[in-house]
Structures are given as structure tokens and as C-alpha cells.
Amino acid sequence: MSNDLFKTLNNLTFETLKHTHLKKIIICFLLTSFFTCKNDTKAPNEIKQDIETSAYKYAQGFSITNNENFKILTVSNPWPKAEKTYKYALVHKNMLSKITLNKDEFDGIITIPIEKIVVTSTTHIPALELLNVEQTLVGFPGTDYISSEKTRQRIDDGKVRELGKNAGINTEVLLEVKPDVVIGFGIDGNNKTFETIKKSGIPVIFNGDWVEASPLAKAEWIKFFGVLFNKQKQADSIFNTIEKDYLNAKKLAKDAKTKPSVLSGAMHNDVWYLPNGTSTEAQLLKDANVNYLWSDSKGSGSLSLNFETVFMKAKDADIWLSPSNYASREALKNANTHNTMFKAFQNNNIYSTINTKGTSGGILYFELGTTRPDLVLKDLIKICHPKLLKNHDLYFFKHLD
């Protein structure tokens, strides 16, 4: 009710209202106006939005808005230079019959907690296991790449179906397993299979953990899965533990008295690929307090150099890390005899993640390393500053024999 109406009514006295009938009319008008104004402030079945939007400490590619009756998951950077922001409405199963959402406003409406899920990258597997929801996984493209013993057992038991390749998922099998959602992974958004899946009525949510600029930012995407399974507090707790362990290891590395020089990568087809100085790999090396020889380089992808350039700068490097997919020093020698000219090769000081595999050949580092950067950092500290972490056994890396 307006302020002018209140002023008008206040100026009226019952002395001026000489007729009882007029008094009743005014009283009824007053009561009717009051309740009408009160009801107008909130329409029936009104959906309040933007009550609270999460703010993450490291991750920048997604956010979660908690509304009165549902949540909104926003993915803003699913691949480099993405031009579209994706919005997904997450509605708890108990609220489905109580609210109505405009489908045109969202890229998908998903019922939570998820009961059946398909993921498309091995980096998604650890989040499911840490949240104790691995039993919801019903399909995966390229199951041989999965290293986890727990999920491998479910694959062997026939509980996780093989879906072919990520770029061409077998939609017939996918429709058979009927997932509530597919967690997509893409490099440019031009995946026709995902469009086919969405047209069949199964929502696809893009995950962009790999685009993040720091190890902890990538790890924080466990909160992305936490909201899908209605386990946000558990996801927060898991990440807080990972963050604490990472920062403690980083602090410990600062006490190192020496900074060994490090070479990374290897040559293929006359091109040596190695991490640029702004990559997450380079940041891990920085946090391990080592002298990565290309730490001052910048770029969005790997550096591509010729052998001569690399050799001139890294021939005396103390340690050689991650020499591509070469599984032994002999393989490195056979690929190019010039590799034997590096000091790290001659001193037998080469370490790689390539030999830590699951039973079907999947490389554990590619699966778990994104979610557990604390373990990766501890490995690097153990290799480069062995006296600082005497009780840590290498988890991903192994000495290249």
C-alpha cells in the first residue's frame, strides 16, 4: 500500500466519518488494501534467484549459485578461448514437482544427486572415488586408460560399459545405460556426438578443469562434482586437505639449500616438446624450488624447439624429468643417440611417470595427477631435494632404468 494512502487515512477521524456505513467501507478498504499489497510482494511459486554465488580460491572456470529452490552451475571456460558460457540448472529430486524452470534459459536441467553418470576423461575418475560415488559410473569412452584399481574392478565386473572413443561415443550403448548426465570434455566445442546425446534428452555438462592455470585450481574442480552429487561439504573438506598438504610441501621446499637444474620433455620427429614457463608443470617445478631452465618462457601450449637449442641450454642439467613416452634409457638412446650427450643421461638421473600404470596400461599420473597435485609436488621434492622428504615414497615418478 502506498504512503499517500496511509497519509490520507491518517487524516480521517471518526468524527469526520459521520455515518457508520462509511466507517465500515473505510475499514474494509483499509484491510483489503493491506492484504493485497502484502500478497503482491511475492507471487505464488516465485523462484528467487542469485541468493548466493560461490567464490573459489583458485578455480576460475566454473561457479555455483545457490538459489532458494535450485542451484545454477555455470561453466565459463570449458576450453581455451571459449566464446560461450554454459549454465545448468541443478534441481534436487525432492523439488522437481514444486518448481517450473524455463528450459530456454539453461543448457541443461539436471536432477541431483546424480544416480548414473558417464564421464569422458580419466581426470574425472578420482573425484568420483574421493566422493565415494564411483558406483554411479555406468560408462566411459576408452576404459583401458583407467588406472584406478577400484574402478577397474567395476569395469571387470561389467558395471562400467565401454563407450568407444571420446570423439565418437557409441550413442547406442550410451542410450542403453541411460545416464542422468554426461560430463563432456572438448577442445573446441565442435563435438557432434555431444549434440546427438543432448538431442536424445541426456544433458551434457562440459568440464574444463584442464584449462585452469594452476595445479590447485585444477584440483578445486572436485567441487564441480561435489555439487552434482549434493556433497559440497565433503568436496570442500577433501580439497582443503589437498591444498594444505600442497602448501606445506611448498613451504618445506623453500628450505632447500640447493636448486638443481631441470630439463623436461623429449624430441619427436625433430621437435623437442617441453612445458612453457607459465604451464602448471612449470609452476609445480617452481613450487618444488628447482631451476627449471625454461621458467622464463611464456605461451599457451608446449614449447617446440630443435635439438640444438635444447642441448645448448640443458646439456649440463642435473635432472631430466618426463622424457615423453620413452620407458627406459635404452629407448631414449635408440630414439636418438644425441640424448646420451646430456649430463643427466650420463649420470643416470632421469625420472618419468610413464612406467606407473594400471593393469590395462593406463598411466596413473594422467588420471590422478590433476586431482592430487600435492602428491606430484612431493614427488618432485623427493627427486630434487631427497633429504627433505625422507619418508615419502615416489607415487607417480619412477627412476628411468
User: The pTM is what?
Assistant: 0.85
The length of the chain, given as a count of residues: 401
Which cell goes with 7?
Answer: 497519509
Strand-strand pairing, 71-75 and 62-66: antiparallel
Q: Digits of tens for pLDDT over the chain (401 positions)?
A: 444 433 433 443 333 333 434 344 334 333 344 334 344 333 334 444 556 667 799 999 999 999 888 999 999 989 988 889 999 999 999 998 888 899 899 999 999 999 999 999 999 999 999 999 999 999 999 999 999 999 999 999 999 999 998 778 999 999 999 999 999 988 887 888 999 999 999 999 999 999 999 999 999 999 999 999 999 999 999 999 999 999 999 999 999 999 999 999 999 989 999 999 999 999 999 999 999 999 999 876 799 999 999 999 999 999 999 999 999 999 999 999 999 999 999 999 999 999 999 999 999 999 999 999 999 999 999 999 999 998 999 999 999 99
Which amino acid is located at 366 in the chain?
A: F
DSSP H or E run through 235: helix 232-253
Name the nearest CA neighbour of 2 among 25, 26, 36.
36
Which amino acid is located at 19 in the chain?
A: H
Name the nearest CA neighbour of 391 among 21, 381, 202, 219.
381
Strand-strand pairing, 204-206 and 181-184: parallel
The CATH class, in words, for 254-399 is: alpha beta
Question: Residue 281 class from Cβ within 10 Å (0-12 exposed, 13-18 middle, 19+ buried)?
Answer: buried
DSSP H or E run through 162: strand 161-162
Q: How far apart are CA 171 and CA 29, in angstroms?
A: 64
Tell me the domain boundaries of the chain.
3-40, 52-242, 254-399
Query: Do residues 291 and 259 touch, judged by C-beta distance below 8 A?
Result: yes
C-alpha distances out from residue 5 to 9, 171, 340, Å: 6, 64, 92
Q: Quote the distance between the C-alpha of residue 330 and its chain's center.
A: 37
Per the omega criterion (within 30 degrees of 0), is the bond before 260 cis? no
Q: What share of the chain is helix, strand, coil (3-state, %, to 5)?
A: 40, 15, 45
Beta-sheet strands, E only, within 45-116: 52-53, 62-66, 71-75, 86-92, 108-112
The CATH class, in words, for 52-242 is: alpha beta
Q: How far apart are CA 265 and CA 302, in angstroms?
A: 10
Which cell goes with 365?
Answer: 599420473
Q: How far apart are CA 395 and CA 379, in angstroms?
A: 7
Q: Quick check: do 52-242 and 254-399 share a fold? A: yes
Q: Quote the distance between the C-alpha of residue 212 and its chain's center.
A: 8
